[in-house]
Amino acid sequence: MLFCYVALAPVLALFFYVRIIPIGFSFLLSFYKWNLISPRRPFVGWDNYLGLLDDENFLLALKNTTIYSFSTVLLSTVLALPLAVFLSRKSRLSAFYQTVYFLPVITPLVPVSIAWKWIYDYNYGILNYGLSFLGIKSVAWLTDPDIALWALVIMGVWKVLGYNLVLFLVGIRNISGELLEAASIDGASDWQRFWRITLPLLKPILLYVLVTSTIAAYNVFTQVYVMTLGSQSAPGQAVRMLVFDIYTNGFQFFRMGYASAEAVILTLIVLGLTVIQFAMVREDKVKEG
Amino acid sequence: MAKKRSLLRRIGLLACHTGLMTGALLMVMPMLWMLATAFKPPTEIALWPPQFLPTDWTTANFTGAFETAPFARFFLNSVLIAITSTAAVMLTSLVAGAVFAKYRFPGRTILFGLVLATAIVPFEAYMIPLYIQLVDIDWINTYQGIILPYLFMAFGIFLMRQHVSSAIPTELMEAGRVDGAGEWWILGRVIAPLSGNALAAVGIFAFIQGWGIFIWPLLIANDQLLFNMELGLTAFQFRFSADTGKLMAGSTLSVVPMLIIFLLMRRRIIENMALTGLKG
């Protein structure tokens, strides 16, 4: 037993220092006003939270992040599902497609954001060039914050599509072939098999993917920082997102308490999403049982 | 009738493959475009209509990038951070995972529960207090400060626990004890050698994560000599945003190591990601 504690001690010490304490500390800090340097750190109660309710930047960030997350997740799921169904058939090309679609998942975000920024470039961007063939005039993808949000969504879908695809693929392959075959013998069409068998059996994985990718999407930051912040093509017109707002309040304006209140909101959103997932999975199990 | 149906099927299949191919092309396009641009001279970069491949291939962007910013240093820092983090995560995951899987002790359920429960909280939500803690111990702007949050991974602990409890027979550990082996010996000589695949999975995750870290170094590294590739690239971007060629050359340097690792181990990486994603 002594061994257990001795072996765990370093890991747990680290775990408490870099995770448990900061998480607790962030709740605490959200009730204070502090600029990081001042020896004064007055307790302000719910003021930071009340301030957030009137803060246009925060509300915009919350709205943008929500739109971003739900659009990215929805689009990538809708695209990944049929791809997974198709690739689940044994085919020599299946492995090739998986590799290619998975590629963006493992590439680091900063360089790919830089590449996407160049793709979206107003003057020399390959996207505007491509659109010109369809008779569409050049779009200011990153300069206009309203359009930039969708530019970020497109890139977000590109990045996460392969991950969803591979998870769905595993889920579909786990569905018994006999079940599908029996349905076909009974005269079910491909569509019926998909809606009546594949999709219902895929539901737990679908839920898992929806929730985890929504959570991941809520933390969007790097793309926003690289693609829309204060460079020549987009002078200071960053798309307001939650983590970006936390970063700005905390590390540009040094409003540590205020930024912590925002961080607490982010934590609560994530927890809420997780609870919803658990509840839905449990409900399913109850129905089955 | 049957003939007509199979013809339809063929057309459908062809349409599917065309769609998949187009999709595949779109997936690799940003990377190819980055590569192609990195080898173009400035006159070909600012060109309308754009040309996909360079006419005059040049490596000037790469040499130029190394001259204008310490990219060699950034690269080494990235390597250092990723490797240290990978080694530490593998070690901490193995030890903690094995202990949580095979030993009974007071507090086990609570501690493991705590590891699991906090795994969902995003780093961005507690980076401010962590930053303040590191200010207090004077670790801002140091290597150890950058690496500290990446020395363990809740997910890695979870994965190793799953593996050890399902794949390592307790009898084997008992046999070791009968022969007079200590618990550390059992951990190192019985459990570790039988955990190669799971450890590799954890290591791959840690390496991918460690190579790509951005927001934490952005907060904590002020000195350019501590920048990793990711941070160095953004700093370079803001200072020389007009120099697209060099920027693409630098980006290529950051992407290529990941691409090589991925192409060498693609099957394993994809399988691991899929399976571990589903276990969670």
Q: pLDDT tens digit string along A54-91?
A: 999 999 999 999 999 999 999 999 999 989 988 887 77
Domain that holds residue A205: 36-288
pLDDT digits (tens, 9 = 90+) for B149-160: 999 999 999 999
Q: Which residue of B has its CA nearest to A161?
A: B27
**pLDDT band at A234, cuts 50/70/90?**
very low
User: Is A16 inside any structural domain?
Assistant: no
Tell me if chain A has a CB within 8 Å of the CB of B247. Answer: yes
Q: Any chain B CB within 8 A of the CB of A281?
A: no
**B54 found inside a domain:** no
Same domain, B73 and B186: yes
Q: How confident is the model at residue B15 (pLDDT cuts 50, 70, 90)?
A: confident
B40 plus B99 within the same structural domain: no
What span, in angstroms and rounded, lies between the C-alpha atoms of B157 and B116?
A: 9
C-alpha of A171 from chain center: 21
Stated pTM of the model: 0.92
Give a yes or no: residue A43 inside a domain.
yes
Give the whole-angstrom CA distance, residue B228 versus residue A87.
38
Say whether both B125 and B70 belong to one domain. yes
Same domain, B28 and B148: no
Q: Which of B128, B215, B244, B262 to mutate to test the interface with A (most CBs of A within 10 A)?
A: B128
- How many structural domains compose chain A? 1
Judgement on whether residues B101 and B30 belong to the same structural domain of the protein: no
Examine residue A12 and state whether it is found in any structural domain, yes or no: no
**For position A235, what pLDDT does the model report?**
42
Domain assignment of residue B239, yes or no: yes
Verify cis geometry, omega within 30 degrees of 0, for the bond prior to B49. yes
Q: Say what the ipTM of the complex is.
A: 0.91
Residue B50 forms part of a structural domain: no
For B232-268, how does the pLDDT look when each residue is reduced to its tens digit (9 = 90+)?
999 988 887 778 899 999 999 999 999 999 999 888 8
Domain of B274 in residue numbering reads as 60-279
Residues B165 and B230 in one domain: yes
pLDDT band for position A159 (cuts 50, 70, 90): very high
CATH value at residue A72: 1.10.3720.10
Do residues B26 and B93 share a domain?
Answer: no
Instruction: Tell whether A93 is covered by a domain.
Output: yes
pLDDT band at A287 (very low <50, low <70, confident <90, very high): low
- Rounded to whole angstroms, how far apart are CA atoms B225 and B222? 9
Are B40 and B131 within one domain? Answer: no
Q: What is the pLDDT of residue B11?
A: 86
A residues 43..102 contacting B (CB < 8 A): 83, 86-87, 93, 95, 97-102
Residues B38 and B95 occupy one common structural domain: no
Q: What are the tens digits of pLDDT across the range B162-173?
A: 999 999 999 999
How many domains does chain B divide into? 2
Q: B12 Cβ partners below 8 Å, 6+ apart?
A: none
Q: Is residue A61 part of a domain?
A: yes
CB within 8 Å: B99 and A20: no
Tell me the pLDDT band of B191, cut-offs 50, 70 and 90.
Answer: very high
What is the pLDDT of chain A when averaged over all its residues? 88
d(CA B123, CA A272): 17
Kindly state whether residues B159 and B232 are assigned to the same domain. yes
A185: in domain: yes
Query: Hey, are the CB atoms on B27 and A104 less than 8 Å from each other?
Result: yes
pLDDT at A233 over 50: no
Q: What is the mean pLDDT of residues A137-162?
A: 91
Q: Which residues of A touch B125 (CB under 8 A)?
A: 23, 26, 263-264, 266-267, 270
Residue A42: count other Cβ atoms within 10 Å of its Cβ: 11
Q: What is the model's pLDDT at position B278?
A: 58
Q: Has residue A231 been placed in a domain?
A: yes
- Residues B172 and B271 placed together within one structural domain of the fold: yes
Residues B29 and B67 grouped into a single domain: no
Band (B2; pLDDT cuts 50, 70, 90): low
Give the pLDDT confidence score for residue B80 in this predicted structure. 97
Q: Residue A175 class from Cβ within 10 Å (0-12 exposed, 13-18 middle, 19+ buried)?
A: middle
pLDDT reported for residue B149: 96
In a domain, A28, yes or no: no
Note whether A136 contacts B: Cβ–Cβ < 8 A: no
Q: How far is A193 from chain B (nearest CA, A)?
A: 17
